[in-house]
Amino acid sequence: MHPFSRSMQVDLHASWWIGPIEIPTRLVLAPMAGVSVQAFRRQGRRYGAGLVCSEMVSCAGLQHRNERTLGYLRIASDERPLAVQLFGSEPEVMAEAAVMVERAGADIVDLNFGCPVKKVTKTGAGATLLEDPERACRIVEGIADAVSTPVTVKMRRGLEDGSRACLELGPRLVEAGATSLTLHPRSARQMYTGEADHSLTAELVRLVDVPVVASGDVTSRARATEIIERTGATAVMVGRAAQGNPWALQEILDGRAGEPSRDEVVAELIVFIRETAGELGEERGTGFLKKFYGWYLGRGRFPKAFKQELVQLATLAEVEARLLAAAPGAHEELARLEAELPDGDDVLLDLPISVYGGG
């Protein structure tokens, strides 16, 4: 049987639940350091993600209140349902952070037990917790006791290639209070190389009685439906495929293939620039946004030299003017997009967020 022949049985538009929180589609937008600012999350919701996730919030930063706060977490009603992701290694400090984000309006508290980056793992946080099950369970239990919002966990398979740590730890985390698990079945050592081994996802689904979200290599509708069919996962998480490319979410959800027009690309990028500048400020935003130019304008949409030209410009106003000169029809598309965007009703929360420290 062709692996995709039963794929139509998977309804990616069907809602599902994490505890009392209803998620309207089977598509989750991944939390990504240096990427998942509010503009990215809002865009993800517009293009069909049922659940969006914040940047990792560094719980360790909460212990140093005398230091300059690294950023603000913004939460707006049009992002919801929203998961705010915490990383850290101290159960008490993480529980305190969880209470803060719950008060700010987070619908779900997500815990990062999967980040492979050395500056996170060396502190005992991220993927290191896969090899420290006692501490991992204490963290989940402490947070589940401290908040009434659902607590979820994002994991990798383990630190080393071939590790099955996620299968030993997963059921224990559920017992400790986790209401959903996300598995990215690569090892921390692999980073983003090789293929995600979704046979592990299928094993985890059989071991636990909470929704499992499959993460890793979800790049198309065919791939998403195949992974759900093969593993029994409740939903899929999309990460890198959506960077500068919200149309990928639309294709996964509805099968709407085809490249966006240049006007659509430029209009979405300008909305993204304006919202990000509002969140980070002009100075921080200028540097932060540079990687997005390549993501939006690549894939054969614009010549490579055009991206290089934008990166050299000193202000975001110059970037915007150059984009509109390259795609004059984007004016109309931009007006339509901005008219549809809801008015801001942000809750601002003073928290250390990974992206502001460099991710």
Judge whether 251 and 257 are in contact, CB under 8 Å. Answer: yes
Q: Which of 119, 194, 203 is nearest to 155 (CA)?
A: 203
pLDDT on residue 124: 80
| Low-confidence winner among 36-40, 198-202, 217-221, 254-258 (lowest mean pLDDT) | 254-258
What confidence category does residue 195 fall into, taking pLDDT thresholds of 50, 70 and 90? Answer: confident
Residue 359, pLDDT above cutoff 50: no
User: Tens digits of per-residue pLDDT, 43-101?
Assistant: 999 999 999 998 888 777 655 553 444 455 778 888 889 999 998 889 998 998 899 88
Active-site positions?
Answer: 115
| Low-confidence winner among 79-88, 201-210, 223-232, 261-270 (lowest mean pLDDT) | 79-88
Query: What interhelical angle do 262-280 and 316-326 show, nearest 10?
Result: 170
Sign of CA dihedral 201, 119, 73, 285: negative
- Highest-scoring range by mean pLDDT, 66-70, 95-99, 173-177, 193-197: 173-177
Peptide bond into 150 cis (omega under 30): no
Domain boundaries defined on the chain: 7-257+347-357, 262-340
Q: Which CATH architecture has domain 7-257+347-357?
A: Alpha-Beta Barrel (3.20)
Q: How many helices (H) and strands (E) in the chain?
A: 14, 12
CB-side neighbour CA atoms (13 Å) of 267 = 19
Amino acid at 30: A
Residue 218 CA to residue 27 CA, distance in Å, equals 10
DSSP 8: G
Calculated CA dihedral for residues 222, 224, 229, 233, nearest 10 degrees: 180
What confidence category does residue 237 fall into, taking pLDDT thresholds of 50, 70 and 90? Answer: very high
User: Tens digits of per-residue pLDDT, 102-142?
Assistant: 988 899 999 999 877 777 777 788 888 998 999 999 999 99
Residue 185: which residues within 8 A CB-CB, separation 6 or more? 156, 157, 166, 196, 197, 198, 199, 200, 201, 216
Residue 347, pLDDT above cutoff 70: no
Residue 183 CA to residue 8 CA, distance in Å, equals 24
As a whole number, the mean pLDDT across the chain is 88
Identify the bridge partners of residue 182 per DSSP, sorted by sequence position: 154, 213
Q: Which of 236, 241, 249 is nearest to 205 (CA)?
A: 236
pLDDT on residue 352: 53
pLDDT on residue 29: 97
User: Tens digits of per-residue pLDDT, 300-332?
Assistant: 999 999 999 999 999 999 999 999 999 999 999
Identify the bridge partners of residue 249 per DSSP, sorted by sequence position: none
Residue 51 CA to residue 204 CA, distance in Å, equals 21
Reduced to 3 states (helix: H, G, I; strand: E, B; else coil), residue 214 is strand
CB-side neighbour CA atoms (13 Å) of 263 = 10
Please give the full DSSP string across 269-319, using - where no structure is assigned.
Answer: HHHHHHHHHHHH-HHHHHHHTHHHHHHHHTTTTS-HHHHHHHHH-SSHHHH
